[in-house]
Structure 1
Amino acid sequence: MKAVSSHTAIPKRPEDEVLPLGRTIAYGFQHVLTMYGGIIAPPLIIGRAAGLDDVQVGVLVASCLFIGGLATILQTVGIPFFGCQLPLVQGTSFASVATLVAIVNGGGGLPAVFGAVLAASAIGFLIAPFFARIVRFFPPVVTGVVITMIGLSLTPVAANWAMGGNASSEDYGSLPNIGLAAVTFAIVLLLSKVGVAAISRLSILLAMVIGTLIAAAVGMTDFSRVGNGPIFAIPAPLAFGWPVFEIGGIISMTIVVLVILTETTADILAVGEIAKTRVDSKRIANGLRADMASSIVAPFFNTFTQSAFAQNVGLVAITGVKSRFVVTAGGGILVVLGVLPVLGRVVAAIPTPVLGGAGIVLFGTVAASGVRTLSKVNYDKGLNMIIVSASLAFGMIPIVKPDFYDAFPTWFATIFHSGISSAAVMAVLLNLLFNEMKFGNPKKGGSVLVATPPRMVRREEVRGLLDGDYFQAGKLIDADGDEIILVTDEEFRAEVVRHQHECKNAGIPVPEVSEFERK
C-alpha cells in the first residue's frame, strides 16, 4: 500500500456535522425505531403492576415518549452546564423497573414511585460532578471492557425480541417469530452490502420497514388498533397525583440512580470513542446533569428516571452517522409521538421479532466496537490481560445466571445485577489495583496469561511515512491532521502516470517514480 496525501474539509468535531434535512429526519427516525421498544416497555410493566387500565397505561407511555424526547434534545443540543452534546438518545431507564415495581407492590402506588424517582434523582444531580472526575480511571482497558459488555448485555434483549417479546404469549419462541427476525437480520446484511452509501446507512430503518411489510403480508402484525384512542393529546402534569416520599423507596431508588450514572458515563465514553471525539470530565458532568435534571422533571409528567440508551450507541457505530443533530431530530420525533398518540400506535405496530432481527446487528456492533478499543491495549506489559478477562467474566455472570445475586442484600444485587455495572466496577477496581498502584506488580514481563508474539512491520511498508504521521481508527493521518489515502500498487502507479503527464503538459520537470515513493 502507498500513501498519498489528501486535504479534505472535516468538521472541528465529528458530532457537529450538519446533514441535509431529509437525511437528518430519516436517520433520526431510525434512532426512534431502534429504541422504541425499550422506551415503552417500562411504563407498560409498571402500569400493569399498578393495576392501571389501557387508557391510563397509554398516558404513561405518551409521557415517557414526551419527556424522553425533551431529554434527548437537551442532551444533544446542550445549554451551559447541561448536555454532553453527543449523539445520545435519552429515555426511561429499564434499570429502574424492578425497583419501581417493588415500590408499587409495597402499597405506595404510583405516587410513591414518583416521589422516590424525584428524591433519588435530586441526589444523583448533586453527586454527578463526582462521577465526572473519575474519567481518568477509564483508559482503553476499562472503556473497551465496558463497551463490549454493553453489547453483550443487550444480546439477550435482542433474542427475547426475536422470540416475540412476551414470554406468556402462546407463540413465544415459535419458528414464525424467529423466522421473521432472521429475515429482518438478513435484510440488514444485504442492504449493508449495497454499494450506495445512503442505503447502507439506512439499512436498519429500511429493514424494519420491509420486515413489517412482510409481517403484515403473512398476518403477523395488526394495524387495526391504530385508530383507537385520541389523535392529539398533551400529557397532563401530575395525572396520578402528587409525589409521595417514602424513605425505603428513596433509598432503593438512590442505589438505582448510582447504577444509571455508571451506565450513562459508560455510554458517553462509548459514543465518544465511536465518534472519535474528545470526552473530558466537564463533558461527562454536563451529560450526567442533563440526565438527572430530566429525571427530576419526569415525575411531574407521569414518568420515571431517564438515561442514555445503549442500543442507540450501536446504531451510531453501525451507520457511521455521528452527527448529534440527527439524534436531536429523533428527540423531536419522540416529542411528536408523545403528543400524537396515533403515531405512537403506528410505530407500536412494528412486530417485536422485527426489532429483534435488527437488534442482533445493532448490539453486536456495540460489542465489536469494544473489541476494537481493546485492540489498542498493550497486553505485553503489566496485567491488562487479567483486567480484561476477569472484568468480562464478572460482567457476564448476571447475564448467564440471572439469579446469581438473589441471596445477596438488595442494594448489592441492584448494582451487580446489571452486567454493564458489574463489568465497569470490576474493570475500574482492577485498573486501580494493577495499573495505578504499581507496587507488587512483576518488574519484567506481564501476566502469565500473556502469550502475544512481538509485532513487526516490513521496512518497505513504512518508507512513504513522514515524521508526525500516525494511524488512528483505521485511517492514516499526517502531522497536520489530514487523512493520507491508502492505495493499492495499481492505483499508485496510475496516480504517478497521471501526475507525470500533467507535469509534462505544464512544461515542468517530470518527477521519477522514486520521488513519489519517498513522499
Structure 2
Amino acid sequence: MPEPRSPVEPRIPPSAVDSHLPAPRLLAFGLQHVLIMYTGCVSVPLVFGAAVGLDADTTAMLICADLLISGLITLVQSLGLGKAVGVRLPVVCGGSFAALSPMILIAGQYGMPAVYGSMLVGGLIGIPLAWAFARLLRFFPALVTGSVLTVVGLSLIGVAGGLIVGQDPTSDSFGAPANLGLAAVVMLVAIALLCLGRNLWRQLGVLIALLVGTVISLPLGLYDLGSLARTAWFGVPEPFHFGAPQFPLTAVVAMSIVMIVVFAESTASMLALGEITGKPVNRANLARGLTGDSLSGIVGAVFNSFVDTVYTNNVGAVATTRVHSRYVTAVSGGILIVLGLMPKLGALVSGLPQPVVGGVGLIMFSVVAVVGIDTLRKVDLSDSINMTIAAASVGVGLLPTLVPGMFARFPDSAQIILGSGITLTAIVAFALNLLLNHTRLGANARRAFSTAASPEPTPL
C-alpha cells in the first residue's frame, strides 16, 4: 500500500511556477500576499523612525519608500532582470528586521547620511558576495534548510500572538476578549476554507478570512482609519532626503555584515520555495536571488528605504494556498509600488486590525514550521549525527525568541548575528553539517559507532 502523500508536498507540476492565471485571480491572489506581508513591512520603518526620533511626516515618507522598494524588488525577484538578477519564484520581499539594530546604532553615532551611505556600499559589496555565497549551496541540504525553516515558523508564532493579544501587558486592551474572539473567528474561517473549500474558495481562504475579520471589526471600533483623512493621495520619496551619503568605515563594515545575515535568511526561504513549488533552486538561481537582495540595498539607500529579504510569512502563504505562479507575486509587487506612490491607499491597508492579521498569521507561520519538519523527514534522523545536528540547531535557534535579551551584554556588532534566531540556526546547522558530514571527523565517528554496535562473534 503506498504511503499517503504529505499535505505539504507539492501536488502540482513545477511548470505551475511559470503559469499564467486569469487577470481577476492574479489580482486577488496578489492582493492577498500584500495584506499578509503589509504589517511586517511597515513595522520596519515605524520602529526605525521611533528609535532615531524622526517626526511623523518623515516616518510616513520612510513607509512609502519602503513599500515602493519592496514592490520593485518583489517584481524583479518574481520576473527576473535579464540573466543577472531575480530568482524567478513566487517571492515577496520586504524590509529586513536584521538591519534595524545596526541602522539605529549608525544613526545615533554618525547620523542619517551615514546610514544610507553605508547601506549603499553594503549593497554594492553584496553583489559579488551573492555569487560567492551561492557556491555554498551544496552545504545547505535538507538537514540545514529543514532546521532553519522549523525555527523560522516557531519563532514567528510569537509575532502572531503579539498581534492578537497586544504588545503592552500594562495596556487595558492587552488580551481583550474581543481581540481574542476576533482572531478566533478569523482562524476558523481560514481553516474552514483551507480544509473544506474547493478550488478558488480554498486558494483565497486567507484573503476571505481577512475580509471577514475586517467587516466584523468595524462595529467594534477596531479598524483605525484616523490617519486616512490627513494622508496625501500621491507622493514620490525624495532621493537622499537626509543629505549626501557618508561612508564611515565602521558603518560600512556593519552593513556588509548585515547583507550576509540577510543572505542567510533569504537562502532558507528560497530553498523552501523550491521544495514547496517543486522547482529546485540551483546555484545560479540562488545567486540571482541574493543579487536582488543586494539591489534592494543600493536602490533603498537612494530612496531612504531598507535592505529587503524574502518574507517567510509569504512562503507560508504559498504553501497554504498552493498557488505557485510567480506572476501572482509580480502583481503583488505592482500593488506595493502603487501603495508606495499613493500614501492614502497605504493608510487604508495599514489600518487593518492587528488581531485579524495575527489570526491568519498564526496559521501561516505554523505552516512554515510544518514545512520545515516535513523537510527534516527527508533526512535520515536514525543517524545519531544528523539527529544531533538538527536538535542543536533548533534548540540554539529558539533561544533568542524564548529568552529575549540574552545577548544584551555582547557588543553591538555581535548582537547583529546573535540576536537573530534564524541566523543562529543557519550558522549552527551549516557549521555542524560541514564539520560532521563533510570531513573525516564525522566519517570516523560513524565508523566507530558502527563497530561498537556490531556484536563480536561468539567463540565456539
TM-score, normalising length: structure 1 = 0.81
Q: Select which of 203, 206, 227 maps to 1:225.
A: 227
Is the contact between residue 44 and residue 97 of structure 2 (CA under 8 Å) also seen in structure 1? yes
Q: Which segments of 5 or more consecutive residues in structure 2 lack a partner in the other structure?
A: 4-10, 453-460
CA distance in structure 2 between the partners assigned to 1:447 and 1:154 by the alignment = 43
Identify the residue that residue 95 of structure 2 maps to in structure 1.
Answer: 92
Deviation at 1:220, TM superposition (A): 1.5
Local SS of the residue matching 1:307: strand
Give the 3 Å change call, closer, same or farther, for CA 445–28 of structure 1 in structure 2: farther
Do structure 1's residue 442 and structure 2's residue 435 form an aligned pair? no
Give the 3 Å change call, closer, same or farther, for CA 48–381 of structure 1 in structure 2: closer
Local SS of the residue matching 1:440: helix
Identify the residue that residue 321 of structure 1 maps to in structure 2.
Answer: 323
Identify the residue that residue 279 of structure 1 maps to in structure 2.
Answer: 281
CA distance in structure 2 between the partners assigned to 1:120 and 1:298 by the alignment = 11
- Partner letter of residue 149 of structure 2? I
Is the contact between residue 380 and residue 445 of structure 1 (CA under 8 Å) also seen in structure 2? no
Is the contact between residue 118 and residue 296 of structure 1 (CA under 8 Å) also seen in structure 2? yes
Q: Higher mean Cα deviation, 320-329 or 242-251? A: 242-251
In the TM superposition, 1:46-445 aligns within 5 A as: 46-79=48-81, 80-106=83-109, 108-165=110-167, 170-381=172-383, 383-438=385-440, 439-443=443-447
Is the contact between residue 381 and residue 446 of structure 1 (CA under 8 Å) also seen in structure 2? no
Which of the pair has the greater relative contact order for Cα pairs under 8 Å at 6+ separation? 2
Deviation at 1:77, TM superposition (A): 0.3
Identify the residue that residue 495 of structure 1 maps to in structure 2.
Answer: none
CA deviations 1:393-451 (Å, max 9, x no partner) are 11111111122222333333211211111111111111112211144222276799xxx
Deviation at 1:62, TM superposition (A): 0.6
Deviation at 1:168, TM superposition (A): 7.3
Q: Higher mean Cα deviation, 146-155 or 379-388? A: 379-388
Aligned-residue sequence identity (percent) comes to 39
Is the contact between residue 62 and residue 235 of structure 1 (CA under 8 Å) also seen in structure 2? yes
CA distance in structure 2 between the partners assigned to 1:294 and 1:193 by the alignment = 37
Give the 3 Å change call, closer, same or farther, for CA 446–284 of structure 1 in structure 2: farther
CA distance in structure 1 between the partners assigned to 2:170 and 2:271 by the alignment = 37
Q: Higher mean Cα deviation, 371-380 or 219-228? A: 219-228
Give the 3 Å change call, closer, same or farther, for CA 350–168 of structure 1 in structure 2: farther
Is the contact between residue 14 and residue 277 of structure 1 (CA under 8 Å) also seen in structure 2? no
Deviation at 1:315, TM superposition (A): 0.6
Q: Higher mean Cα deviation, 266-275 or 433-442? A: 433-442
Deviation at 1:194, TM superposition (A): 3.0
- Partner letter of residue 334 of structure 2? G
CA deviations 1:255-296 (Å, max 9, x no partner) are 222111111111111111111112111111000111101211
Deviation at 1:300, TM superposition (A): 0.8
Is the contact between residue 42 and residue 63 of structure 2 (CA under 8 Å) also seen in structure 1? yes
CA distance in structure 1 between the partners assigned to 2:201 and 2:421 by the alignment = 34
CA deviations 1:154-209 (Å, max 9, x no partner) are 11111111123566754233333233222222221122233322111111111111
Give the 3 Å change call, closer, same or farther, for CA 167–77 of structure 1 in structure 2: farther
Identify the residue that residue 24 of structure 2 maps to in structure 1.
Answer: 22
Is the contact between residue 382 and residue 435 of structure 1 (CA under 8 Å) also seen in structure 2? no
Is the contact between residue 165 and residue 353 of structure 1 (CA under 8 Å) also seen in structure 2? no
- Partner letter of residue 261 of structure 2? V
Local SS of the residue matching 2:309: strand
CA deviations 1:291-317 (Å, max 9, x no partner) are 101211111111111111111111111
TM-score, normalising length: structure 2 = 0.91
Identify the residue that residue 483 of structure 1 maps to in structure 2.
Answer: none
Give the 3 Å change call, closer, same or farther, for CA 166–91 of structure 1 in structure 2: farther
CA distance in structure 2 between the partners assigned to 1:32 and 1:447 by the alignment = 56
CA distance in structure 1 between the partners assigned to 2:18 and 2:163 by the alignment = 33
CA distance in structure 1 between the partners assigned to 2:142 and 2:213 by the alignment = 37
More helix by share: 2
How many residues are aligned here?
442
Give the 3 Å change call, closer, same or farther, for CA 241–169 of structure 1 in structure 2: farther
Q: Which segments of 5 or more consecutive residues in structure 1 lack a partner in the other structure?
A: 4-8, 449-519
Q: CA RMSD in A?
A: 2.1
Give the 3 Å change call, closer, same or farther, for CA 440–157 of structure 1 in structure 2: same
Local SS of the residue matching 1:225: coil
Identify the residue that residue 7 of structure 2 maps to in structure 1.
Answer: none
CA distance in structure 1 between the partners assigned to 2:449 and 2:316 by the alignment = 36
CA distance in structure 1 between the partners assigned to 2:242 and 2:175 by the alignment = 36
Is the contact between residue 13 and residue 278 of structure 2 (CA under 8 Å) also seen in structure 1? no
Deviation at 1:10, TM superposition (A): 7.0
